[in-house]
A = this chain, B = another copy of it.
Amino acid sequence: MNVGVLAVGTELLLGQIIDSNSAWLGGEMAAGGVDSLVQVKVGDNVDRIISQLDRLLSADGDDVDAVIMCGGLGPTHDDLTREAIAAVMGVDLVLDEAVAEVIRVLFESRGRRMAGNNLRQAMVPVGANIIAQTRGTAPGLICPISSFGRPKVIYAVPGVPHEMKEMFHRSILPDLLERSGERSVIASRVLRTWGESESGLNERLDHVIAELDGGGDVPTLAFLASGWEGLKVRLTAKAATIEACRAQLDEWEARLRVEIGDIVFGVDDDTMESVVLEQCRRRELSLAVAESVTGGLVGGRLTGVPGSSDVFLGGIISYATAVKQQVLGVSPGPVVTASAAREMADGVRAAVGADVGLSLTGVAGPGEQEGRRAGTLFVGISGPGFDEVHEVRLPGLRDQMRQFSVITALGMLRTALDTHLPLG
């Protein structure tokens, strides 16, 4: 099964929007065992859309089994995906009354007047099946087509990412798997790791990977880089039922944790900050931060998590030396030092009245500070009955160094809490 992706929209070619939909679809299809060997962007021009569709589907073109089209399903005259599909299928577009009714009701429920052109979204090529719209006004389409005597299919989904993603999982992926004769269910689990390089991870998982490559009812394993957020290890299981998938995932997650449990900080949608907040919550600890080099980024990330306010009290952005000394009680002298980090962590704990204080002081560059190179970071942690200070050398230019500092400090706090205050 080989699937082409055709992203439609002049704004994509002009660089006004970056086409992240195709990449997402490619990743999801790969996890489902479906190949996506070619992905194309084309503008809002019906002839060019038709010609790209023809090319993707034809035996002397890319000869894909299916094309997923993203975008061009809106209500305006620039939205030409429906017309192009009908032309390639050699059929007419007809108004689907059921779809039209959903659109009318949607407008009424929002108390808005519906402009007539919204009914363009209810036009459907004869012979197409509808993917019912649940979030936006436009439905998706499943359009069977015969190409040189072979049955193929064109899918169309809106370009709005959350509509596209929902329709892909609800309708397109199951349809693709059914067409490929694949009756299995697919499920994934992501282990989030921090603190090991890709080659290091590969080495530590060497024989687990060998076992998985051996075949049988086992998941596949993939590493996904996510920049300074660490590496994701994704297990994808294929089985007759979702329960059987979960059993495979549980078994192999446990197997992986034996090898790399020390660097696994979370699962699936966990983030380092959500994990740290949960660790504090379970220990009934409140948290405060003292930030110099990061200037508020750590607090910004922690407060990005809904419900963080029961743990995170706040902090001091002590960018200037005077603020470190006067508000946090840091001693006179250099401030990119272990002792300054320690005093900042203690100081913010006291100033804010928190159980745990986390501090960061360092040099983001460009240029040195106090004779220390850009990339120098000190992290201080002050908690009930324990404290730690770490010195780290980070890579990167100013922005990267600061982002690395955030995740590094949060990662150190995670480890410190587990070490000093283990849970039963």
Residues of A that sit less than 8 Å from B by CB? 12-20, 22-28, 30, 36-43, 45, 48, 51-52, 55, 61-62, 224-225, 289, 291, 293-300, 302-304, 306, 308-309, 312-320, 322-323, 326-327, 351-353, 364-366, 398-399, 402
Q: With a 10 A CB-CB cut-off, give which of A22, A55, A303 has the most chain B CB atoms.
A: A303
Question: Could you tell me the distance in whole angstroms from the C-beta of A405 to the nearest C-beta in chain B?
Answer: 11
Q: Is the CB of A302 within 8 A of B295?
A: yes
A306 CB contacts on chain B under 8 angstroms: 365-366, 398
Q: Is the CB of B300 within 8 A of A300?
A: yes
14 sample A-B contacts, Cβ–Cβ < 8 Å, listed by A number: A12-B26, A13-B39, A15-B27, A17-B23, A19-B19, A37-B45, A38-B48, A39-B41, A40-B40, A51-B62, A295-B302, A296-B315, A306-B398, A323-B352
A48 CB contacts on chain B under 8 angstroms: 37-38
Question: Could you tell me the distance in whole angstroms from the C-beta of A13 to the nearest C-beta in chain B?
Answer: 5
- Given A295-B304, A299-B317, A319-B303, are A36 and B55 neighbors across the interface (CB < 8 Å)? no
A309 CB contacts on chain B under 8 angstroms: 319-320
Q: Is the CB of B303 within 8 A of A295?
A: yes
Q: For the A-B complex with A289-B317, A312-B319, A313-B322 known, give 11 more contacts whose Cβ atoms are closer than 8 Å.
A: A13-B26, A14-B30, A39-B41, A289-B296, A295-B308, A296-B296, A300-B300, A303-B319, A313-B319, A314-B320, A327-B352
A294 CB contacts on chain B under 8 angstroms: 300, 303
Q: Is the CB of A52 within 8 A of B30?
A: no
A61 CB contacts on chain B under 8 angstroms: 55
Question: Could you tell me the distance in whole angstroms from the C-beta of A287 to the nearest C-beta in chain B?
Answer: 10
Number of copies of this chain in the oligomer? 2
A30 CB contacts on chain B under 8 angstroms: 13-15
Say which residue of B20, B24, B314, B364 sits within 8 Å of A317 (CB atoms).
B314
A302 CB contacts on chain B under 8 angstroms: 295
Q: Is the CB of A23 within 8 A of B12?
A: yes
Say which residue of B28, B40, B326 sits within 8 Å of A15 (CB atoms).
B28
Question: Could you tell me the distance in whole angstroms from the C-beta of A243 to the nearest C-beta in chain B?
Answer: 28
Say which residue of B19, B38, B308, B312 sits within 8 Å of A52 (CB atoms).
B38
Question: Could you tell me the distance in whole angstroms from the C-beta of A120 to the nearest C-beta in chain B?
Answer: 21
Q: What CA separation (Å) do A315 and B300 show in the bound complex? A: 13
Q: What CA separation (Å) do A225 and B14 show in the bound complex? A: 12
A26 CB contacts on chain B under 8 angstroms: 12-15
Q: Is the CB of A224 within 8 A of B319?
A: no
- Given A38-B52, A48-B37, A297-B300, are A18 and B23 neighbors across the interface (CB < 8 Å)? yes
A13 CB contacts on chain B under 8 angstroms: 26, 30, 36-39
Q: What CA separation (Å) do A224 and B24 show in the bound complex? A: 24
